Amino acid sequence: MISDVATPAASEVWYSCGPVGLSLVYDDPVLQQALHGLLSQYDAPWPENKINIRVIVSSKQPPVSQPPGAGTYLSLTRLKADRRGSRLVSCGNLGTFMEYDMAAAEARMTVPENPDWPLLVEEVEHHFIMLLARAWGQAGWTPLHGGTLIAPGSSRCVILCAPSGVGKTTLTAAMLRRGWRTLGDDKTLLQKEGNQVIGRSLAHRFHLHPNSSRWFPEAGDITKWPTYSRWTDKRVVRIEKLWPGCLAERAIPGAVVQLLRDENGPALAIQPLSREATLNTLLLQVAIPSDAEHARPLFSCIASLAANIRGAVFKIGNEAFADPTTAERIETEFKKLLS
Amino acid sequence: MIDNVAWIGTNWTYFRVCESSNMNKLSSDTNRWLLRPDVVATIVNDGAVILDLRTKFFFSANSTGWAIAQMFETGATRAEVHAASSKWGAVNGDAVTIDAVIDQLIAEKLVEATTGTGAGMSAVTVAAWTLPTLNKHKEPLQRIMTSAFDPGLPLAE
């Protein structure tokens, strides 16, 4: 059990994050407000929270004296995580610390003062993402950093894989205008269900770049939506406000597309992916920890998916969507992949 | 090694050299090898994918390559793998390929020498024998990630 270190004045808030519920106890309302953007984004409806975790976030307590993290579980640019029995311990570069007792479903986080407040908040966000990723795994789901596009009149979807900034959201928006639906633009949970893998929606808010208005005028002035991060101009957009009926809760992946941006190439170039490259593409979008017990189900889910779907590389040129026929060609190729 | 004998020419000579090479390996390698605990595998279609969590490289094995790797889950010697392979349908000429798979498992440090005894090896079965393969994928997974949800580094916008 993790001892309760919150002050008597602490406030408690609750978030539903897909199959995981978080009950958060804060002693700092400013930090609580700062983290609301991250924790409220997992807004897709779920039938139940299979796991409920109580998290105590202390920023007015003295920092816990801990040995530096070694990153034997996960090594992130901002923090290092190690597993100690039933506990997952993560230490951030700025001295933030989280201990998640997986057996007791309790976590404790300490946040020391730091003059760079935005950087401090981002580091705390990474602790929460780590906590959630593990909790989703405990609930039987594999978090995939990828978007999805569901063919009209079908339950089968294409998974879009690409690093942030390549254009998953823009491509998704281009297809939503053509009647496709989506589970989300970059966050999907996967689970093996019998002989197939299914995908479920986690977040219904998109991170859309204001430039998208040039190609999708019905989106209006995207700069009116709230900002997402200090590192990008993207805005947090409630996508159904722009394209009503475009959201879905569940789909069956039938293809994976590795999206690349080709600055000097044609609007669209397509190459098939080998089975090996399909697996690689999917695995590169999943944070697989170095702990065998925790890695095994994630790896198994992705390998099973890769074995049963087609893959292709789509290279998208600059200003590709200025030409309406690009989206039409992409739609035709997506349908071929899903057939 | 095939490269060393290719110039000799005849199949008869080739197999004699292979058998000789194999005998050398069997006599020189008496270690019992065990799959490292931080190597995980998952069965896919007629084979398996193996992921080394230390190096983040992963490998695809066909059904017989996977059967060989499975023997090392409980510990096995090179001789025991050859004996099992014979039961599964391997012939003398397959020994070089079987050794190549074992050599690769050792070279990639997916297995490590152990002092224990083998157990449960009989549980490994092969429906139809084919030459075993173990292919290392070119690109490893990320060792350092951006976040626990988005492993990749974002591109500059």
Q: What is the pLDDT of residue A6?
A: 46
Please judge whether A292 and B45 are an interchain contact, meaning their C-beta atoms are less than 8 angstroms apart: no
Stretch among A3-12, A216-225, A256-265, B97-106 having the lowest mean pLDDT:
A3-12
Residue that wins the pLDDT comparison between A6 and A324? A324
Q: Which residues of A touch B50 (CB under 8 A)?
A: none
Residue that wins the pLDDT comparison between A238 and A258? A258
pLDDT digits 0-9 by tens, A115-147: 999 999 999 999 999 999 999 999 999 999 999
Q: What is the pLDDT of residue A281?
A: 93
All structural domains of chain A with their residue ranges: 11-138, 142-338
pLDDT at residue A43 is higher than 70:
yes
Per-residue pLDDT, averaged over A81-95, amounts to 95
Domains and CATH numbers, chain B: 30-136 (3.90.930.60)
Q: What is the pLDDT of residue B19?
A: 54
pLDDT at residue A94 is higher than 90:
yes
pLDDT at residue A44 is higher than 80:
yes
* Identity of residue A285: Q
A106 Cβ neighbours under 8 A, 6+ residues apart: A1, A2, A53, A54, A55, A56, A100
pLDDT at residue A196 is higher than 80:
yes
B98 Cβ neighbours under 8 A, 6+ residues apart: B68, B81, B82, B85, B90, B132
How many Å lie between the alpha carbon of B119 and the closest alpha carbon of chain A?
21
CATH superfamily of A142-338: P-loop containing nucleotide triphosphate hydrolases (3.40.50.300)
Give the β-pairing of A51-58 and A20-26: parallel
Burial of A207 (0-12, 13-18, 19+ CB in 10 A): buried
Per-residue pLDDT, averaged over A177-202, amounts to 94
Task: Determine the 3-state secondary structure of B23 from DSSP.
Answer: helix
Q: What is the pLDDT of residue A64?
A: 65
pLDDT band at A34 (very low <50, low <70, confident <90, very high): very high
Q: Which residues of A touch B38 (CB under 8 A)?
A: 290, 292
Report the residue of chain B nearest A277, measured CA to CA: B137
B44 near A CB under 8 A: yes
Report the residue of chain B nearest A126, measured CA to CA: B147
Return the top range by mean pLDDT from A166-170, A233-237, A268-272.
A268-272
Q: Across the interface, which of B38, B49, B153 has its CB nearest the CB of A290? A: B38
Please judge whether B144 and A75 are an interchain contact, meaning their C-beta atoms are less than 8 angstroms apart: yes
B53 near A CB under 8 A: yes
Q: What is the pLDDT of residue A63?
A: 60
What would the two tokens of residue A255 be?
């293809």
Report the residue of chain A nearest B156, measured CA to CA: A165
pLDDT band at A300 (very low <50, low <70, confident <90, very high): very high
Mean residue pLDDT of chain A comes to 91
Dihedral in degrees, nearest 10, Cα atoms A130, A89, A16, A197: 50
Size of interface A-B (CB pairs under 8 A): 112
Residue that wins the pLDDT comparison between B9 and B133? B133
What would the two tokens of residue A33 be?
């407000």
Return the top range by mean pLDDT from A137-141, A206-210, B2-6.
A137-141
pLDDT band at B153 (very low <50, low <70, confident <90, very high): low
Q: What is the pLDDT of residue A224?
A: 87
Please judge whether A77 and B146 are an interchain contact, meaning their C-beta atoms are less than 8 angstroms apart: yes
pLDDT band at A61 (very low <50, low <70, confident <90, very high): low
Q: What is the pLDDT of residue A333?
A: 96
pLDDT digits 0-9 by tens, B109-141: 999 998 877 665 557 889 899 999 999 998 898
Residue that wins the pLDDT comparison between A214 and A64? A214
Q: Across the interface, which of B51, B148, B151 has its CB nearest the CB of A284? A: B151
Please judge whether B152 and A279 are an interchain contact, meaning their C-beta atoms are less than 8 angstroms apart: no
Q: What is the pLDDT of residue B94?
A: 96
How many Å lie between the alpha carbon of A177 and the closest alpha carbon of chain B?
24
Please judge whether A292 and B151 are an interchain contact, meaning their C-beta atoms are less than 8 angstroms apart: no
Per-residue pLDDT, averaged over A164-183, amounts to 90
Question: How far lies B11's CA from each of A90, A205, B3, B18, in Å?
Answer: 60, 66, 14, 10
Per-residue pLDDT, averaged over A67-89, amounts to 93
pLDDT at residue B17 is higher than 80:
no
How high is the ipTM of this complex?
A: 0.85
Per-residue pLDDT, averaged over A8-36, amounts to 90
Per-residue pLDDT, averaged over B80-101, amounts to 95
Question: How far lies A327's CA from each of A180, A217, A314, A332, in Å?
Answer: 11, 15, 12, 9
pLDDT band at B143 (very low <50, low <70, confident <90, very high): confident
